[in-house]
Amino acid sequence: MSSSTPTRLILRLAGALPLRILFSLTRGLAHLSRLRDTKAEAITRVNLDICFPGLAAEAREALVRSSLDHDALTLAECAPFYTRPGSHLSALVDTPDQAVLDAALSEGKGVLLCAPHFGAWELLGQVLSQRYPLHVLYKPSKRQAIDDVLIPGRTRFGATLHPTNAAGVRGMHRALAANGLVSILPDQEPDTSGGEFSPFFGEPALTMTLLNRLARKRQVPVLLAAAVRDLTTHRYTFVYRRIDAAIHSADTHTALSAMNQAIESLVREHPAQYIWSYRRFQSMVDGNRRDYRWYGERP
């Protein structure tokens, strides 16, 4: 039996649950995990201190709790997203910004989707790949068992995954030339050779330059794309926003600032849905690594 078989069985069983039950169970388990200090909570607190320094203590604590709930839901949602029929997933989505995506595609140059780690980002790929030729930049996991679950789950409706190497970049160029959608998660720390520091919530963050390079070379539309999660209705709203033309600038600082500002604006609207448990500011301009251990007292 494959090492991923038990995981697949769990995904199928959990995926069969109504979303309201899955959400309730997941948030309950997330609450229990906070009875002890966790690494995710420590990272979240440091990031929120950096990005919302003026937030009152009570509001900050509420944001920490809500953020960790959303983190847990992002993981739990893989169950229905990787196992339910495509028609079921599409029925969960509202697309008030569809005209923005349609207009970008009508230019015939392909479209770059800047899709940060926000909300239900896994659902974007599941739904879009049913409708369009979707290509996604993907960093292979160091653990094969994880890829054995993620890759089939993400590609089951026809999405093409491109690894983060030269061959993957060539594949994305080909996809854009064929008027495809290319989705990139732009808020992971790259190697220093593939990134530059750019402000994010006023703090220098090592930011990937690949999306700017693709946009500049091919002069394609670049859209911010996200799936906003509604905890009350258990539905999702797909957001598409055209990023400022500065994203195509030959000046990398200008382009990265435009991209990070677009992401920041979205996050400020729904701050709990961003993945604050990721060490976004680990690399520092002076060459040191930020200490993400939490030394403060929990309220």
29, part of any domain: no
Is residue 47 situated within a structural domain?
no
Residue 1's pLDDT is 41
Task: Determine how β-strand 222-230 pairs with β-strand 235-242.
Answer: antiparallel
Q: What is the pLDDT of residue 13?
A: 87
At 299 the pLDDT is 52
Residue 31 lies in a domain: no
> Which has the closest alpha carbon to 65: 96, 92, 44, 89?
44
Check residue 80 and give its pLDDT: 95
Inside any domain, residue 260: yes
pLDDT in tens, the chain (299 residues): 445 567 778 888 888 999 999 999 999 988 887 766 688 999 999 999 999 999 999 999 999 999 999 999 999 999 999 999 999 999 999 999 999 999 999 999 999 999 999 999 999 999 999 999 999 998 877 777 778 888 999 999 999 999 988 999 999 999 999 999 999 999 999 988 889 999 999 999 999 999 999 999 999 999 999 999 999 999 999 999 999 999 999 999 999 999 999 999 999 999 999 999 999 999 999 999 999 987 665 55
> How far does the chain reach from its first CA to its final CA, in angstroms?
46
- Whether 70 is in a domain gets the answer no
What torsion do the CA atoms of 105, 106, 109, 113 make, to the nearest 10 degrees? Answer: -20
For 12-96, strand residue ranges (E) read: 93-94
Pairwise CA distance, residues 47 & 45, whole Å: 5
Q: Is residue 180 part of a domain?
A: yes
pTM > 0.85: yes or no? yes
Q: How many domains does the chain have?
A: 1
| Residue 5: predicted pLDDT | 67
- What residues make up the domain containing 114? 86-273
Residue in 119, 78, 124, 76 with CA at minimum distance from that of residue 101: 124
Buried b (16+ CB within 10 A) or exposed e, 196-205: bbbebbebeb
Is there a domain that residue 214 lies in? yes
Q: Is residue 23 part of a domain?
A: no
Q: Provide the 3-class DSSP secondary structure of residue 104.
A: helix
